[in-house]
Each structure stands twice: as C-alpha cells, then as structure tokens.
C-alpha cells in the first residue's frame, strides 16, 4: 500500500459487513478533506471478521489481514485469513477453527495477529485464542480465555497490557465482566466490571486532548443483557500506569443507539470513530460516522457529516493506520521485520 506511513494523515480501511466492497478513506487533522475510493471488491460478503495491519513475510511492506467471519448469504463460517492487497485478494493462512465475532490485536511488531474468542457452528462462545503468523502461514495455540466469549472488545492499553471488554457468553447473554491481560505473566486478571452489560459494542483507547498522558478506555453503544440496543457509554480513565483497579464511569451518551459498528482511533489516538452499525431505525446498517474526543476529561460526540459512508454498513471491520501505536511484544525470538505502519514507535523494540 503506497500510502502507509504518511506523517499527518490517518487512513482507515473499512471492510463492509453487509455489502461486498472495501473502502479506504483518509482524515486530515482538521477533518476538512476526505477521500473515499473503492480499493478492491472483496470476493464474498463477510460479516463479523477481525484483523489488522501486519508485516509481509518479506519484511518489505505491510498488508491488511482479515480473518474469519461469516458469509452474509450462505451463513458459511470461515477459517481463512485474507491478505487484502492490490491487485488480488490472497490467502494469508488459516485459523485453527472458524471464528465469527472474534476480537484481535496485532503484536510482535506486526508479525503476528492474536485472535480471541468468537463462535462457530460447533461452539456458541469460544474460550480459545490463537496466534496467526504470515511468515509461517500458520497459527499456534494462544492463552485460554477466562470463559467463552463473542462480540467482545480486545484493546491494547500499552506495550504490556490489554483489556478484554464485555461480550456475549455461551448463553448469548451480554456480560459486564472484563479482564486485563498481562504480557509479562501471560495471565488474565479480573478488571472492574462495566456498570451495565455490553456486547456488539464499539471500543477504543484514546488520549485526552490536553493531557496526553491520560488514557481513556471507551465502551460505547452495543446491546444490553436483554438484547436491547443502547447508546450508553462507559469510560475507564487511566491517569497513571497503575490502573488494574480503576473503575468504569458513565460518559456522554452516543447521539443514537448503535450496535454492530466498527471503531478506530485517529489523530494520534485523540479521536475515536464509530463507523456504521445497526440502529433502531436502520436494522440493516447505517452510513453514519460518529467521533468522540475528550478535553480535560470532558468528552463529547459529534456526527461527522462530511464522512458519511457511501453505503450503509454493519457487522464491519475498521483498521486504522496511524503512527505511534505501541505493539504488544511477547518474546525475543521474532525477527526484526518492520514496516512504515510501525515507524517512529516510542515503545517499539521493548522485550519481556
């Protein structure tokens, strides 16, 4: 992708869940200029996939990698990982099992994708995880989850920690349970529960617009324990690096109830975008894009009217290409393959 590594522009790749297309758009710091263009048509209409930006095996460039998901027409659940690159969509490898509604993180400087949970035709909520490697064209077992979960969030907080937020259990009930993952011990730790259960929600970790060291974990919208769509927002405000006991607090509600949306951070993690999704009035998907920002912990939402999608979408995946995002690094055996997506990373190269 020739535009990887642009210094002052954020790019987001959006794979539509209910229509067979793939769009990319760029956002300037002022959000005054937008550029939508169809990059490539995905061969099938896939919903509930997961993925990220990974280093190609030759170490020369990066690719968008999308794993799992479900065919919108046949309901077939997929175990393939596709590398979305021009001019052809290529198979990058296979998951150990089909996964729909999984969540993932890129790790080890972009060489691996950690895919967690989800469901398939055999298990209502998987408690397994796996590491997908482009260089080895294979996947290995990852750490077992505390319980089976799908339609959850997995967000990286720093180079040592990630947090699993909400999701549905094996009974299809939304849950309020959350867990920290410690990359040092490779173990799970209970996190403070959400004030209300959430699944199929949008998440992200953003920074305060003034106090850049303050991080804010956001869990927005989704469905509650009764399957009802909600516009409630919960925030976990991290003012120090000792945050495992930090509670959630209510944030500003979204402008409308939204579930099954894609989310991505932009502008150096200062903005969270919630893209598309189902609403009470649009069960098949919406073309709206909402932005959340915080200034001295005062957070607000706004509708980005200039960034409305060309087509309504839901059950989609957004992949953000931005600088300065620390990646989880799990061991010292990986090679030093890098790409521009990971350039200028202040925490890159830390080993534990």
Q: Compute the distance between CA of residue 65 and CA of residue 51 in angstroms, rounded to an integer.
A: 5
Q: Which residues contact 28 (CB under 8 A, 6 or more apart)?
A: 8, 9
Contact 123, 148 (CB under 8 A): yes
Contact 160, 352 (CB under 8 A): yes
| Lowest mean per-residue pLDDT among 133-142, 189-198, 295-304 | 133-142
pLDDT surpassing 80 at residue 12: no
Question: Once rounded to an integer, what is the mean pLDDT over residues 106-115?
Answer: 85
What is the model's pLDDT at position 95?
Answer: 95
The 10s digit of each residue's pLDDT in 306-326 is: 776 777 888 988 887 654 334
User: Sign of the C-alpha dihedral, residues 79, 262, 105, 267?
Assistant: positive
Half-sphere exposure of residue 136, counting CA atoms within 13 Å on the CB side? 12
User: Looking at residues 25-47, what average pLDDT do you find?
Assistant: 44
- What distance in Å separates the CA atoms of residue 137 and residue 233, rounded to the nearest whole number? 39
Q: Enumerate domains of the chain plus CATH numbers.
A: 10-342 (2.120.10.80)
- pLDDT band at 284, cuts 50/70/90? confident
The pTM of this model reads: 0.84
Between vectors from CA 236 to CA 167 and to CA 156, what angle results, nearest 5°? 65
Report the distance separating Cα 324 and Cα 62, nearest Å. 16
Show the CA angle centred on residue 323, arms to residues 317 and 324, nearest 5°.
110
pLDDT confidence band for 345 (50 / 70 / 90)? very low
Measured in Å, how far apart are the chain's first and last C-alpha atoms?
31
Higher pLDDT, 54 or 8: 54
* Torsion (CA) 33, 37, 39, 44 in degrees, nearest 10: 120
Check whether 21 has a pLDDT greater than 60.
Answer: no
205: which strand partners?
217
Q: Is the pLDDT of residue 135 over 90?
A: no
Those residues with Cβ within 8 angstroms of residue 214's Cβ, 6 or more apart along the chain or in another chain: 207, 208, 237, 238, 239, 297
Q: Please answer whether residues 176 and 196 qualify as being in contact, where contact means their C-beta atoms are separated by less than 8 angstroms.
A: yes
- 91 and 83 Cβ atoms separated by less than 8 Å: yes
β-pair partners for 164? 154, 179
Beta strand pairing status for 271-275 and 187-191?
A: unpaired
Helix spans in the chain (H): none
**pLDDT at 103 (0 to 100):** 97
Q: Please enumerate in sequence order all residues whose Cβ is within 8 A of that of 352, keeping only pairs 6 or more positions apart, or say none.
A: 160, 183, 184, 329
Is the pLDDT reported for residue 24 higher than 80? no
- What is the pLDDT of the chain when averaged over all its residues? 79
CA atoms within 13 A on the CB side of 334: 26
């Amino acid at each position: 992708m020739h535009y990887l590594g642009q210094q002052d522009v954020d790019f987001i790749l959006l794979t539509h869940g209910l229509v067979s297309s793939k769009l990319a758009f760029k956002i300037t710091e002022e959000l005054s200029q937008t550029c939508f263009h169809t990059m490539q048509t995905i061969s099938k209409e896939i919903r509930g996939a997961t993925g990220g930006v990974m280093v190609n095996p030759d170490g020369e460039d990066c690719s968008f990698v999308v794993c799992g998901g479900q065919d919108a027409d046949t309901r077939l659940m997929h175990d393939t990982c596709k590398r979305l690159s021009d001019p052809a969509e290529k198979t990058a490898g296979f998951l150990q099992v089909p996964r729909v509604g999984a969540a993932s993180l890129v790790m080890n400087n972009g060489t691996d994708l950690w895919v967690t949970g989800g469901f398939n035709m055999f298990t209502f909520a998987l408690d397994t995880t796996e590491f997908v490697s482009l260089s080895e064209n294979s996947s290995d077992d990852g750490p077992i989850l505390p319980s089976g979960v799908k339609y959850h969030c997995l967000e990286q907080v720093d180079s040592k920690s990630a947090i699993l937020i909400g999701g549905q259990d094996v009974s299809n009930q939304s849950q309020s349970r959350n867990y920290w993952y410690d990359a040092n011990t490779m173990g799970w730790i209970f996190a403070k529960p959400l004030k209300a259960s959430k699944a199929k929600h949008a998440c992200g970790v953003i920074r305060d617009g003034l106090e850049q060291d303050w991080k804010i974990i956001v869990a927005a919208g989704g469905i509650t324990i009764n399957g009802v769509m909600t516009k409630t927002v919960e925030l976990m405000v991290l003012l120090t690096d000792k945050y495992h006991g930090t509670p959630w607090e209510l944030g500003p509600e979204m402008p409308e109830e939204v579930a099954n949306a894609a989310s991505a951070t932009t502008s150096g993690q200062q903005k969270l975008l919630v893209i598309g999704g189902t609403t009470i009035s649009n069960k098949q998907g919406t073309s709206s894009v909402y932005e959340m920002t915080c200034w001295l912990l005062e957070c607000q939402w706004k509708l980005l009217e200039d960034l409305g999608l060309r087509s309504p979408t839901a059950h989609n995946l957004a992949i953000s290409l931005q600088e300065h995002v620390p990646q989880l690094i799990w061991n010292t055996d990986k090679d030093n393959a890098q790409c521009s997506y990971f350039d200028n990373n202040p925490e890159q190269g830390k080993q534990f």
